Amino acid sequence: MVNTLVPLIFMSDGTHLSNFAGDKKEWPVYITIGNLSWKLRKMPTTHSVVMVAPLPIQIKHRNIVQEPLDEQRETHQEVLNEVLWRVLNPLSI
């Protein structure tokens, strides 16, 4: 049996969705193969970067005390971990 290691690069960037409904953004997660040349990766026609999942973004709470803010950060981290686990779990053998 031959084993092959394929490096994967995951990336995310905020995407502005609307000027009319306030501060609406989405954070899609993209994947690419790590050993592609940068020249190939940056060419849109190669489709070397693929969106795998949008990250759900929770509502921002402003002007709140530290304890609820810490709870919000912990919830955001749990959501991020769950989304990435669901994306990556099918890739594992």
Q: Residue 41: its pLDDT value, please?
A: 78
pLDDT of residue 24: 65
Query: Do residues 12 and 29 lie in contact, with contact meaning Cβ atoms separated by under 8 Å?
Result: yes
pLDDT given for residue 23 in this prediction = 60
- Per-residue pLDDT at 1: 76
Three-state secondary structure call for residue 75: helix
Per-residue pLDDT of 13-72, as tens digits, reads: 777 666 665 666 677 888 888 888 888 878 888 888 888 888 766 666 566 677 777 787
* Residue that the structure tokens 């969106």 belong to: 51
How far apart CA 55 and CA 52 sit, in angstroms, is 10
Backbone CA torsion sign across 52, 53, 54, 58: negative
Instruction: Please report the pLDDT score of residue 72 as a whole number.
Output: 75
